[in-house]
Amino acid sequence: MTKFFVSFSALVLFATLGSAAQAVTVTADPGAQTGLVPGSVYDFSGQTPVVAPAIGPSAGTFSANGIDYSGGGLIANTTAVNQYAIPAGYSGNYMAVLGGQQEVLTFGGRTMDMFGLFWGSIDSYNSVQFLLNGKVVGTYVGSSLASPIAASGDQTGSYSNAYVTFNFGAPSFDEVILASADNSFEFTNVAAAAPEPATWAMMILGFLGVGFMMYRRARLSPALREV
pLDDT band of residue 213 (cuts 50, 70, 90) is low
Domain ranges of the chain: 3-195, 197-227
List, for residues 73-108, the tens digit of each pLDDT value. 999 999 999 999 999 999 999 999 999 999 999 999
Q: Residues 6 or more apart from 182 whose CB is under 8 A from it?
A: 99, 123, 125
Residue 65's identity, in one-letter code, is N
Predicted local confidence at residue 220, as pLDDT: 60
pTM of the model: 0.81
4, 57, 92, 93, 183 from 88: Cα distances, Å: 24, 24, 11, 13, 16
Q: Percent of the chain scored above 90 by pLDDT? A: 73
Fold adopted by 3-195 = Jelly Rolls (2.60.120)
Task: Report pLDDT for 17.
Answer: 41
142-159 pLDDT per residue, tens: 999 888 999 999 999 999
